[in-house]
């Protein structure tokens, strides 16, 4: 059974805050839920499915469904880090297609900026995580577990720091039009290379922002979407995958997108060349480059050349990406950027992106997420959507 055109994204909301020391995480979830339901033109009592992940306070959906006043008949707390929210859209479409719910609400929120989170701090993991005793002594932190993939990519394919920097330049070019973006100044390749080296070969400007905030999505049955006033965005296909260390046959030359991408394209019945706009998870510049290759937008190993010279800039390049400024410049709420990837894709499909970055007649878009650590173990999710 396919989810192709069996569900629609009817509501999308990105919280405008980037720093919220005066609000609880639960409140931010509620504000995002309100924003997405208002956007869709639906009410709280219409919601019968609820999706959240590890950023939601409490035990799975128990605390937040109660806090929000929901009475869901379908819940899902799949957690694959920042990619979870793309999986939630796929799972919501599956649930809607099989009659398990009609109106699914997905929420994300967090305050890592107010709480002093950092990409060079050890990641918090649950007790008993089986890899920890074997790896913690070596001080893996978020940034170096992406840097290892970048270093190997450079070794294998000759990718350069200048090429990676173009990804940041493209994101910053877009962010200048987003009044809510955390970083709105344009940057040059030289600016990226001159920024402090955090973990070779990744500079500070190769890294995403740490921001407070959140987002929410409402996924509904197609008949409901057509009864609402907003443009109809169909879910066409979704793919998911977990990639780890392959039992010790570590291969850092590809990401889980090499597995999730083909699954999504097959379900959607489209090809990479058909995609007009792509939201590509940008925790770090290398994350973008590897996913672009793995999704088939260019040949493996040629991502460096593909992203250079503005090829990701809307109106200039072949693959307009992250027109909100992405995680590199706009927002990475709760250190989980998956939901904002879907939100900007929905804006593009509705024709509601900023006019300076709107892709003309955008009718087919992709969102891609990588959650966890690119260099050790991560969840990948690919979502393909169309304007009906």
Partner 1 sequence: MTTMYQDRPLGSAVHDPATEPFFAATANGSLRVKVCSTCRKPHWYPRPLCPYCLGETEWSDVAGKGQIYSVSVTRRAGPIPYAIAYVRLDEGVTMLSNIVDCDLDSLRIGQRVHVVFKPADGGTMIPMFAPDPG
Q: Which residues bind partner 1 (CB under 8 A)?
A: 120-121, 130-141, 143-144, 147-152, 155, 196-202, 245, 247-250, 252, 375-376
Peptide bond into 201 cis (omega under 30): yes
Q: Strand 74-76 relative to strand 103-110: parallel, antiparallel, unpaired?
A: unpaired
Decide whether 115 or 131 has the Cβ nearer to partner 1. 131
CB 290 within 8 A of CB 374: yes
Of 232 and 286, the one with the shorter C-beta distance to partner 1 is 286
- Cβ 67 to partner 1 shortest distance, Å: 35
d(CA 83, CA 382): 9
Buried b (16+ CB within 10 A) or exposed e, 323-343: bbbbbbbbbbbbbbbbbbbbb
Q: Least distance in Å: CB of 84 to partner 1?
A: 24
Q: How far is the CB of 41 from partner 1 (least distance, A)?
A: 47
Nearer to partner 1, 249 or 271 (CB): 249
Length of the chain equals 388
Give 138 or 361: the residue with its C-beta nearer to partner 1: 138
- Output the smallest distance, CB 125 to partner 1, in A: 11
- d(CA 76, CA 107) in angstroms, rounded, equals 11
Q: How far is the CB of 197 from partner 1 (least distance, A)?
A: 6
Cβ proximity to partner 1: between 30 and 328 the closer is 328
Shortest spacing between CB 308 and partner 1, in angstroms:
23
| Nearest one of 103, 316, 364, 94 to 225, comparing CA atoms | 103
Residue 120 beta carbon to partner 1: minimum distance, rounded to whole angstroms:
4
Evaluated on CA atoms 185, 187, 192, 194, the torsion sign reads negative
Contact 11, 217 (CB under 8 A): yes
Choice between 28 and 145, CB closer to partner 1: 145
**Whether the Cβ atoms of residue 336 and residue 209 lie closer than 8 Å to each other:** no
Q: Token match 């990804």: residue?
A: 167
- Minimal distance, residue 206 CB to partner 1, in Å: 12
Query: Is the CB of 196 or the CB of 355 nearer to partner 1?
Result: 196
Helix ranges restricted to H, the chain: 25-40, 62-68, 84-97, 132-135, 142-157, 161-175, 189-194, 222-227, 257-268, 285-294, 303-307, 338-350
Three-class secondary structure of residue 21 per DSSP: coil
Q: How far is the CB of 373 from partner 1 (least distance, A)?
A: 11
Q: In this structure, are strands 103-110 and 49-51 parallel, antiparallel, or unpaired?
A: parallel
- Smaller CB distance to partner 1: residue 1 or 134? 134
At 332, list the tokens. Answer: 């990475």
Nearer to partner 1, 191 or 309 (CB): 191
């Amino acid at each position: 059974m396919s989810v192709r055109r069996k569900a629609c994204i009817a509501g999308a909301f990105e919280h405008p805050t980037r720093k919220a020391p005066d609000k609880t995480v639960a409140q931010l979830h509620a504000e995002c839920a309100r924003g997405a339901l208002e956007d869709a033109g639906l009410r709280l009592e219409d919601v019968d499915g609820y999706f959240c992940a590890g950023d939601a306070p409490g035990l799975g959906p128990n605390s937040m469904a109660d806090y929000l006043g929901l009475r869901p008949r379908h819940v899902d707390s799949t957690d694959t880090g920042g990619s979870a929210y793309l999986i939630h859209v796929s799972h919501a479409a599956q649930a809607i297609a099989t009659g398990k719910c009609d109106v699914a609400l997905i929420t994300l929120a967090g305050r890592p900026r107010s709480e002093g989170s950092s990409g060079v701090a050890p990641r918090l993991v649950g007790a008993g995580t089986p890899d920890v005793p074997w790896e913690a002594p070596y001080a893996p932190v978020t940034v170096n577990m992406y840097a290892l993939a970048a270093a190997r990519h450079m070794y294998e394919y000759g990718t350069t720091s200048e090429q990676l920097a173009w990804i940041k330049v493209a994101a910053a070019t877009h962010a200048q039009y987003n009044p809510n973006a955390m970083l709105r100044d344009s940057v040059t390749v030289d600016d990226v290379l001159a920024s402090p080296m955090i973990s070779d070969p990744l500079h500070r400007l190769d890294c995403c922002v740490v921001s407070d905030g959140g987002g929410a999505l409402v996924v509904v049955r197609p008949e409901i979407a057509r009864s609402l006033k907003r443009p109809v965005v169909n879910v066409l296909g979704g793919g998911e995958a977990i990639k780890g260390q392959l039992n010790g046959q570590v291969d850092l030359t590809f990401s889980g997108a090499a597995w999730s991408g083909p699954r999504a394209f097959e379900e959607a019945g489209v090809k990479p060349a058909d995609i007009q706009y792509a939201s590509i998870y940008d925790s770090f510049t290398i994350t973008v480059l590897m996913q672009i290759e793995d999704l088939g937008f260019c040949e493996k190993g040629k991502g460096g050349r593909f992203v250079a010279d503005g090829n990701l800039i809307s109106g200039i390049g072949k693959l307009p990406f992250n027109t909100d400024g992405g995680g590199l410049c706009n927002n990475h709420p709760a250190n989980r950027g998956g939901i904002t990837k879907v939100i900007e894709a929905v804006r593009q499909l509705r024709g509601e992106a900023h006019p300076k970055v709107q892709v003309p007649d955008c009718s087919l878009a992709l969102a891609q997420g990588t959650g966890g650590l690119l260099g050790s173990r991560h969840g990948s999710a690919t979502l393909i959507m169309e304007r009906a």
